[in-house]
Chains A and B, each alone.
Chain A
Amino acid sequence: KAGVTQTPRYLIKTRGQQVTLSCSPISGHRSVSWYQQTPGQGLQFLFEYFSETQRNKGNFPGRFSGRQFSNSRSEMNVSTLELGDSALYLCASSSRPGQGLVDYGYTFGSGTRLTVV
């Protein structure tokens, strides 16, 4: 079956602009999580959605937001981009919510590399 699909793969934006990234989970998976990866901070959790509801949110400013649609596809939006937002954004899907969510491991997409200039 198809894996987790993230679009676009690469993106270049200017400071102050906003950006929307998309993630399509594995068919049948209803949980989607987002992570930011930078050389300095490593992999950091952004947010998690299950059945269109945000279940958890990481320690990021309000400029970072997300949503999940009824077909489980998810988008994340970053407004008023800053240079420090340049990162690889990874999406992961899983079939189960809650504490059992990670019992079987996540399936990650290839990521969207965002460069802010």
Chain B
Amino acid sequence: SQQGEEDPQALSIQEGENATMNCSYKTSINNLQWYRQNSGRGLVHLILIRSNEREKHSGRLRVTLDTSKKSSSLLITASRAADTASYFCATDARGYSTLTFGKGTMLLVSP
């Protein structure tokens, strides 16, 4: 079953704009991760945030985590056409060593 639910399902922006994607989950987690997938290819790990962290940055990526609301957001600043992809959040439930994925947000960045 899906643990995470991304919002929005699809997002279309212009190059240079910021893109924000949200993820909600249902159970307690050890950490939350964001992945990118280009055109049905493999998943690329973007960033991991632990349950005791509230915010994390990596290059143009900023992730926040609110465990009280069971939600996370991914911000991509100054988007580029190459950022066009599907983005998935994935949670690791406490005590397990597998990932539960949301259904993803499709991001389209137009030149």
A-B contact count, CB below 8 Å?
Answer: 74
A46→B69 CA distance, assembly (Å): 28
> Which residues on A sit within 8 Å (CB–CB) of B50?
103
Q: A48-B97, A58-B98, A107-B45 are in contact. Are A42 and B31 (CB under 8 A)?
A: no
A106→B91 CA distance, assembly (Å): 12
B25 within 8 A of A: no
Q: Which residue of B lies closest to A101 (CB)?
A: B97
Q: Which residue of B lies closest to A58 (CB)?
A: B98
Q: A42-B104, A55-B97, A56-B97 are in contact. Are A102 and B30 (CB under 8 A)?
A: yes
Number of chain A residues whose Cβ lies closer than 8 Å to a Cβ of chain B: 33
Most B C-beta atoms less than 10 A away, residue of A56, A90, A102:
A102
> Which residues on B sit within 8 Å (CB–CB) of A90?
42-43
B95 within 8 A of A: yes
A111 within 8 A of B: yes
Write out, one digit per residue, whether chain A residues 82-114 have a CB within 8 A of any chain B CB (1) or not (0): 000000101010000111111111111111010
- Indicate the size class of the contact surface on chain B: 20 to 34
Shortest Cβ gap from A25 to chain B (Å): 13
Q: Which residue of A lies closest to B103 (CB)?
A: A42
Neighbour of B98 across the interface among A4, A45, A103, CB < 8 A: A45
Name B10-44 residues within 8 Å CB distance of A.
30-31, 33, 35, 40-44
Using a CB–CB distance below 8 Å, which chain B residues touch chain A? Answer: 1-2, 30-31, 33, 35, 40-45, 48, 50, 88, 90, 92, 94-104
Using a CB–CB distance below 8 Å, which chain A residues touch chain B? Answer: 4, 31, 33, 35, 37, 42-45, 48, 55-56, 58-59, 88, 90, 92, 97-111, 113
User: What are 5 A-B pairs at a CB distance below 8 A?
Assistant: A45-B99, A45-B100, A108-B45, A110-B41, A111-B40
